[in-house]
Chain A
Amino acid sequence: MKKITARPYSLRDIPFHYCPGCMHGIAHRLVAEVIDELGIHGRTIGISSVGCSVFAKHYFNVDMIQAAHGRAPSIATGVKRVLPDRVLFTYQGDGDLAAIGIGDFIHTAYRGEKITTIFINNTVYGMTGGQMAPTTLIGQVTKTTPFGRSVEINGNPIRVCELIASVEGVAYVERVSLHNPKEIIKAKKAIRKAFEMQLNGIGFSLVEALSACPTNLGLSPLEAVKWMEEKMIPFYPLGVYKSPAGGGLSA
């Protein structure tokens, strides 16, 4: 009998601390599978960020550096410039990348650093208890928007892929979702492409993965999946936002 086992070599065999139904675990596995399949295990260095995935440094079975909040792309830049033959990825949440770290992120993209960013958009600050993030949807209730996010008071949500798709130094941008097996398979392909852009020396690559934080949405994992389908994906359309071959939206 052929075994379909889940654990890639590039993930250590330790249980994840993530909440039930949290999709950080799925994203970790996909990144690790791609590292295995590309045969880059021995020369990959990951930079974990601050957020629930702060412990990614324990889970990935590759060299990892834990960056201060929002600084992962800058750390990755430094390592890549000193060791250009290594494969660098950052793993960042929406609070980390789009709030405190948006400056580091945008400049890294503009400089066209040859690194890969895996960006987990779950619309909240998960780790600190569900405060509003730059990606929180209009009307979404969070700890700091008890009456729902309003454009007048809180401003508009940041669509990160759209924001950097026009930047020259950027090679590849795709938004994927982790809410069902079909989309997870697509997400893995996107992550693979993003790493390939780096391996081919083309430029900065980003994969934004829509993800659920059931705990802070106050929903069960299955309700959170529904919420993603009904509310999140319509606001954050999936597809390729930039690729070297050209590329508008490919639904």
Chain B
Amino acid sequence: MAKVTFWEERCKGCQLCTTACPKKIITMASNINEMGYHVASVTEQKKCTGCGLCVIICPDMVIEVERGREN
């Protein structure tokens, strides 16, 4: 059980996280944030293993990953 969330206001759309994700579930959303960047998002949340590699590469600390059991 794992969950990845993006702090959209802070995302600069660099896409580095898309290369870091071993499951390749991070894609760029079609919507843009206030800074004018396409933000990173996850389509198939269920496939996230909670490895946190996207957290490690994000230069702007946009990503939060939770893993383990609910509660």
- Chain A interface residues toward B at CB < 8 A: 1-7, 11, 15-16, 18-26, 29, 180-181, 184-185, 214, 220-222, 225
Contacts and interface: CB of A to CB of B under 8 A. Distances in A.
Contact of A1 (B52, B60, B68): B68
B32 interface: no
A11 B59 CA distance: 13
Closest 5 CB pairs of A and B: A25-B59, A21-B14, A20-B12, A6-B61, A1-B66
Interface in B12-71: 12-16, 18-20, 37, 50, 52-53, 55-71
23 contacts: A1-B3, A1-B67, A1-B68, A3-B65, A3-B66, A4-B50, A4-B52, A4-B55, A4-B66, A18-B59, A20-B12, A20-B14, A21-B16, A22-B59, A24-B59, A25-B61, A180-B19, A180-B57, A181-B53, A185-B56, A214-B14, A222-B15, A222-B16
A210 to B, nearest CB: 14
Contacts of A23: 59
Interface residues of B, number: 32
A185 B55 CA distance: 12
Nearest to A13: B61
Contact of A2 (B12, B16, B55, B67): B67
B22 to A, nearest CB: 9
Given A4-B52, A21-B14, A222-B15, A16 B60 contact: yes
A15 B20 contact: no
B57 A222 contact: no
Contacts of A3: 64-66
A216 to B, nearest CB: 15
B62 to A, nearest CB: 8
